[in-house]
């Protein structure tokens, strides 16, 4: 696991869970465009596919990834085989027509208001390029976006990998997991999404803030449980104790080993 890749993907998914709830759409029904087919974009795409989204298109500056493109590296070739089920070709503008969600991990100014207007009703925009997003939030909202997130701390709904990876690693370490698998990352994302209160949700917030110190203990507990459930934990632990020890370290600087309930055969 890499914090910039999979940490970012975890927070993206957490935000998307709540964004889809905000626009009343189901994951299996939506089409998502991910702009940026580098390390972060591929990690995001894989996470969304593991979660079970309906259809996903991965796009780079040369257009939609599809099998047979001669300019793809081996990682992009792999992604071309598991995305784009209709074998579409074309530019980002063509990819966005009729889609429900745009997620950008690319570069500044890649998305125009015209592109947003071609999307499905109640579109979701995650413009995560830093320091200049693919489209500025005010422009996206003016063009009809219902939910907008960026990678910047001076706008609402910052997608920041630091929200996820400390708790994710803590849970994996406390359970002595020998891998960090999809189930653990999905558990972290879903728990992170659940930490947005109903009042915050009604006010438009879809992701907990980066300085919310209650996040890491909650994610650590969820990840430790997922590690045990999927058989990759070397010990069984009490998730409540995992959360408490993580909390004590954050607030008191006390680091205590989490006691093992039993050894496993993992």
Contact 122, 23 (CB under 8 A): yes
Q: What is the mean pLDDT of residues 229-243?
A: 96
Residue 171 pLDDT grade (very low, low, confident, very high; cuts 50, 70, 90): very high
Is 187 buried (19+), middle (13-18) or exposed (0-12) by CB count in 10 A? buried
Residue 211 pLDDT grade (very low, low, confident, very high; cuts 50, 70, 90): confident
Q: What pLDDT, on a 0 to 100 scale, did the predictor assign at position 256?
A: 83
Q: What is the mean pLDDT of residues 209-221?
A: 94
- Burial of 21-36, coded b for 16+ CB within 10 Å and e otherwise, reads ebbebebeebbbbbbb
Q: List CB contacts of 35: < 8 A, sequence separation 6 or more.
A: 41, 59, 60, 92, 102, 103, 104, 105, 106, 110, 111, 134
Cα distances (Å, whole numbers) of residue 44 to 9, 39, 104, 263: 4, 9, 10, 33
Structural domains in the chain, CATH included, are 3-150 (3.40.50.720), 164-263 (no CATH)
Q: Enumerate the β-bridge partners of residue 60.
A: 63
The 8-class DSSP code of residue 58 comes to E
On the question of pLDDT at 15 being above 60, the answer is: yes
**In this predicted model, what pLDDT tens digit does every residue of 123-134 receive, in sequence order?**
999 999 999 999
């Amino acid at each position: 696991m890499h914090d910039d890749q999979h940490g970012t993907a975890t927070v993206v998914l957490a935000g998307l869970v709540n964004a889809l709830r905000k626009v009343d759409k189901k994951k299996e029904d939506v089409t998502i465009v991910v702009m940026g087919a580098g390390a972060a974009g591929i990690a995001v795409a894989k996470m969304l596919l593991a979660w079970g989204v309906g259809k996903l298109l991965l796009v780079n500056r040369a257009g939609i990834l599809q099998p047979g493109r001669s300019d793809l590296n081996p990682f992009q070739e792999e992604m071309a085989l598991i995305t784009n089920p209709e074998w579409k070709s074309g530019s980002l503008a063509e990819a966005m027509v009729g889609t429900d969600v745009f997620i950008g991990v690319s570069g500044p100014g890649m998305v125009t208001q015209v592109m947003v207007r071609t999307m499905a009703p109640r579109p979701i925009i995650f413009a995560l390029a830093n320091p200049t997003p693919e489209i500025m939030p005010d422009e996206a909202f003016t063009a009809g976006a219902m939910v907008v997130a960026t990678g910047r701390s001076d706008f609402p709904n910052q997608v920041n990998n630091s929200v996820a990876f400390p708790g994710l690693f803590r849970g994996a370490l406390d359970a002595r997991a020998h891998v960090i698998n999809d189930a653990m990352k999905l558990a972290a994302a879903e728990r992170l999404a659940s930490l947005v209160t109903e009042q915050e949700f009604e006010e438009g917030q879809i992701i907990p803030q980066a300085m919310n110190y209650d996040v890491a203990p909650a994610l650590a507990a969820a990840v430790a449980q997922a590690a045990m459930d999927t058989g990759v934990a070397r010990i069984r632990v009490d998730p409540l104790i995992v959360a408490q020890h993580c909390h004590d370290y954050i607030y008191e600087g006390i680091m205590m080993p989490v006691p093992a309930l039993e050894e496993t055969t993992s």
